[in-house]
Amino acid sequence: MKALTRTDFNLPGQVNVYHGKVRDVYNINDDLMVMVATDRISAFDVILPKGIPFKGQVLNQIAASFLDATADIVPNWKLATPDPMVTVGLKAEGFRVEMIIRGYLTGSAWREYKAGCRELCGVKLPEGMKENQKFPEPIITPTTKAEEGHDENISAEEIIKQGLVSKEDWETMVKYTRALFQRGTEIAAAKGLILVDTKYEFGKRDGKVILIDEIHTPDSSRYFYADGYEEKFEKGEPQKQLSKEFVRQWLIEHNFMNQPGQVMPEITDEYAQSVADRYIELYEHIVGKKFVPADSEGDLAARIERNVTKWLKER
């Protein structure tokens, strides 16, 4: 199976390109962004050495469907998807803050809670909570968006104090974050899933706060299966989940958390395919449609560049 791990296009009107952990983002005339969801996969702030077949298509198509399904409540950047692995949209000035919202105590929040932490990003946490327990109401735990290395937890008070976001824009982002999480929760519930936690990124264009980047994908979100949640929670058993957390857990089991001296375990073809299968499973659950793999015969990068170039010229 083929995996696209890098692009190096020369698109009409291209100003520059940014190669992120997972996406390659092309700036077109300082007005549009061409976001290519590659098959790269990252965990613990490091890119794994092997790509995951169809992961980019899964992420791009899930994000596109959710951007469409939430456009009535929050304005977003999306204009078109000229290729299964690409979204083209409006360029915006991104805020240096990621909005993380959590409905349940799990993942990194649980690890901190278990270590004795009772306040996260300025939000007080109740005593006596258990792993995977639902919060009385979802909590927002933002992080700074680091150019390199780890994103850092930060409180709303500090965000405003440091001038990262104005008070007015912060309040808009909080309102949008809660509305998006509520809508995502409702869509997930209809598909037998629980949206556990997720992150959103916002930017500003023409003086308006808009939603940018992906939403509700397994890279940016965590889902539990609703069926069996209560029973597993009562027994203290791990939840069956659809998210990238299973990759993190696999790395932890192989003694890798990107700490000094640790060595990345080998990513075999078999393991890469098993990860691809999990991503496709989430797509089919959350979108409610059979996954149709895009044509992967020939050169994936050439196909994408051809499709994007055609869209830009015809726009």
pLDDT in tens, 10-54: 999 999 999 998 999 999 999 999 999 999 999 988 999 999 999
pLDDT of residue 147: 63
How is residue 12 written in tokens?
Answer: 């009409």
pLDDT of residue 282: 82
Task: Tell me the C-alpha to C-alpha distance, in Å, between residue 77 and each of 38, 90, 211, 308.
Answer: 19, 5, 6, 17
Assess whether pLDDT exceeds 70 at residue 180: yes
How is residue 6 written in tokens?
Answer: 């890098």
DSSP conformation class of 201: E
Residue 57 vs residue 45, higher pLDDT: 57
Beta strands in 170-251 (DSSP E): 193-205, 208-212, 221-225, 241-243
Task: Summarize the confidence of residues 257-277 as an average pLDDT.
Answer: 93
pLDDT of residue 297: 74
Give the span between the Cα atoms of 29 and 242, in whole angstroms.
38
User: Helix or strand or coil: residue 70?
Assistant: helix
Give the span between the Cα atoms of 288 and 231, in whole angstroms.
25
pLDDT of residue 281: 86
22 burial via Cβ count (<10 Å: 0-12, 13-18, 19+): buried
DSSP 144-176: E--SSS---B--HHHHHHTTSS-HHHHHHHHHH
Task: Summarize the confidence of residues 215-227 as an average pLDDT.
Answer: 91
Amino acid sitting at position 238: P
Task: Summarize the confidence of residues 242-258 as an average pLDDT.
Answer: 88
SS3 percent helix, strand, coil of the chain, rounded to 5, is 35, 30, 40
In sequence order, what are the beta bridge partners of 16? 27
- b/e code 290-310 from CB counts within 10 Å (16+ = b): eeeebeeeeebbebbbebbbe
Give the span between the Cα atoms of 119 and 158, in whole angstroms.
14
Q: Which residue has 């000229």 as its token pair? A: 82
* Domains identified in the chain and CATH numbers: 14-92+264-314 (3.30.200.20), 95-243 (3.30.470.20)
Task: Summarize the confidence of residues 260-278 as an average pLDDT.
Answer: 93
Assess whether pLDDT exceeds 80 at residue 158: yes
Q: Band of the pLDDT at 286, cuts 50, 70, 90?
A: confident
pLDDT of residue 151: 77
Q: Band of the pLDDT at 296, cuts 50, 70, 90?
A: confident
Assess whether pLDDT exceeds 90 at residue 94: yes
Q: Band of the pLDDT at 114, cuts 50, 70, 90?
A: very high
Amino acid sitting at position 168: E
pLDDT of residue 246: 82
Element (H, E) at 233: helix 229-235
Residue 242 vs residue 163, higher pLDDT: 163
Assess whether pLDDT exceeds 80 at residue 278: yes
Give the angle subtended at the CA of 14 by the CAs of 10 and 18, to the nearest 5°: 85
Percent of the chain residues past pLDDT 90, beyond the cut: 86
Give the span between the Cα atoms of 117 and 84, in whole angstroms.
42
pLDDT of residue 149: 59
pLDDT of residue 218: 83
Amino acid sitting at position 299: D
Assess whether pLDDT exceeds 70 at residue 150: no
Is the distance from CB of 284 to CB of 290 less than 8 angstroms?
A: yes
Amino acid sitting at position 156: A
Give the span between the Cα atoms of 146 and 138, in whole angstroms.
24
pLDDT of residue 156: 96
Element (H, E) at 27: strand 23-28
Q: Which of 142, 148, 138 is nearest to 97 (CA)?
A: 142
What average pLDDT does the chain have?
94
Task: Summarize the confidence of residues 127-135 as an average pLDDT.
Answer: 97
